[in-house]
Amino acid sequence: MAMSVGGSSDETPLSDINTTPLVDVMLVLLIIFLIAVPVVLQTVPLKLPDVRFDPTQTKPENVNLSVTSENGECAVYWNLSRVNSKELLELAVNKLKTEIDRQGGPNAAGLELPEAHIRGDVNTPYRCIGGTIYTMQSAGFARVGFISEPPPGANPRV
């Protein structure tokens, strides 16, 4: 550390900045942040919902799909008949158009669009179910839901 003792005849002021206090403050802030950051980054305690189901309101205009995997290939069933992705898209678009026309056209008041209900086998890869969801949304279905079976002994919420 350099210090001027006034032995020189030159009366010019010193222009060097004393960085020692700055370094001390920075080290203290670094220690404070190192202690405070793990406290702030704790996880938020959550209670996840129980695996229960709401009784499904079955309407005749809703589409029931079953998705499973057979020999590594995705198998999608519209009601009880197996369809590929192209047929699924065509059937979904036609179903939606038919239902909109039945209710008075796209500008009808109180238009209730059908829903797509997907039953997915527990061992089916996500790509099969995700592809079905994507196809139904591409066709125009705004509500795509899952049908599940509750665990034994579980009571539905009423």
DSSP class per residue in 135-157: HHHHHT-S-EEE---PPTTPPPP
Tell me what the mean pLDDT of segment 88-111 comes to: 89
The pLDDT-based confidence of 133 (bands split at 50, 70, 90) is very high
The answer to whether the beta carbons of residues 147 and 118 sit under 8 Å apart is: yes
Going by C-alpha positions, the residue among 51, 54, 57, 56 that lies closest to residue 152 is 51
Token pair listed for 155: 């009571």
49-81 pLDDT, tens digit each: 555 666 667 787 889 899 988 888 999 999 888
What domains are there in the chain, each with its CATH number?
63-146 (3.30.420.270)
Report pLDDT for 11: 75
At residue 42, does pLDDT exceed 60?
no
